[in-house]
Amino acid sequence: MVRMYLNRFWGWVALAVILGSTTFAVSQGQTKKVFMITDMEGVDGIFNSELQCNPFQSPRFEESKKLLTGEINAAVDGLLEGGATEVVVWDGHDAGRTLSTLDIHPKARLLIGSPVSSTLELNSSYSAVGFIGQHAMAGAEKAVLSHSYSSDGVQNIWVNNKPVGEIGARVMLAGTFGIPVVMLSGDAAACREIHQLVPQAECAEVKWGVSRTAAFSLSHPAACSLIHEKARRAMERLAEFKPYTLTGPVEVKVQFTSKATPNLEPRDGIEQLDERTWVFRGKDIIDAWLRYSSF
């Protein structure tokens, strides 16, 4: 009987030591919190916006949600296995009304709804950013459902004369907070795009564009398996990544489509270059981007 109580006692002591060590690690800033940016056009099996991507309208939208959620959950599993201590998933497709807390990974937190700030609620507490289901920028070669924020409204975006889409702008945004981007899943064009900014990023190519609305695609189980592996490797290699940083003033130049040219008045930090092209200037990417996104 005495031995039994002693065993229990030392068991509780061991547990206290483990918990104490975990608390100490957290207090010493050793948490690895990851922000996951999600979209739908880059998901396996997605090739047609009207058929698959419009919430509550597309006939195959429920299937698309399942495909996206499966990829997200595979990534969360991989990130946690690789050492992440927390994963926040942002529902980034169509005003944050795609994902559900019924289906999302039980160890993830979900940021849903709109409006969400132009900074995506990011801050320096995050250790890494990753993309799931991401598409390439408008005009990219053989890119499935490529666009830059608005397929109807935006023709081109440049930051300090560098062409960017949603990938580039958000890599730069994360860098402002000192956060590196470590992974992406999407089509081959999206992977090429992130590798121009972050050459060492882990990238899961889940499909290969034949045209803007056709692709060769992995099966869903194969895509999830690949994403899981890439996410795990990204976290294991976290120390190798550095934030993408821009120094000095930033200029965001936007060429709108002919049917979406805004009715703007030039003012401090905002200049019209031609009928469809405007420049938004600021002290950094956030300042310049807010001038653009708030008009």
- For residue range 36-59, what is the model confidence (pLDDT) as tens digits? 999 999 999 999 999 999 999 999
Token digits for 6? 């002693």
User: How far is Cα 162 from Cα 113, in angstroms, rounded to an integer?
Assistant: 31
Instruction: Give pLDDT tens digits for 232-254.
Output: 999 999 999 999 999 889 999 99
Residue 124's identity, in one-letter code, is: S
Indicate the residue type of 36.
Answer: M
d(CA 29, CA 260): 46
What is the rounded distance in angstroms from the CA atom of residue 67 to the CA atom of residue 223?
10
CA atoms of 34 and 37, how far apart (whole Å):
10
The dihedral of CA 50, 53, 57, 63: what is its sign?
positive
Residue indicated by tokens 């065993």: 7
Q: What is the dihedral of CA 102, 107, 111, 117, to 10 degrees?
A: 180
Percentage of the chain exceeding pLDDT 70:
90
The one-letter code for the residue type at 263 is N
Output 268 or 71, whichever has higher pLDDT: 71
Whether 233 and 82 have beta carbons less than 8 Å apart is answered as yes
pLDDT tens track for 158-179: 999 999 999 999 999 999 999 9
- Top pLDDT among 265 and 61 is at 61
Where in the chain does DSSP place strands (E)?
Answer: 33-38, 86-90, 108-111, 128-134, 154-159, 162-163, 181-187, 202-211, 214-217, 250-256, 270-272, 277-282
Q: Which of 278, 220, 281, 228 is nearest to 250 (CA)?
A: 281
pLDDT at 15: 34
Report the distance separating Cα 74 and Cα 202, nearest Å: 15
Rounded distance, CA 207 to CA 209, Å? Answer: 7
The pair of three-digit structure tokens given for residue 106, joined into one six-digit string: 């039980």
Give how far the C-alpha of residue 100 lies from the chain's centroid of Cα atoms, to the nearest Å. Answer: 17
Of 9-23, 72-86, 165-179, 218-232, the one with minimum mean pLDDT is 9-23
pLDDT confidence tier of residue 29, bands split at 50, 70 and 90: low
Q: Which of 169, 153, 41, 145 is nearest to 93 (CA)?
A: 41
Q: Is the pLDDT of residue 106 over 70?
A: yes
Average pLDDT for residues 248-270, to the nearest whole number?
A: 90
C-alpha distance from residue 151 to each of 130, 132, 156 (Å): 23, 19, 10
Return the sign of the alpha-carbon dihedral for residues 143, 252, 161, 243: negative
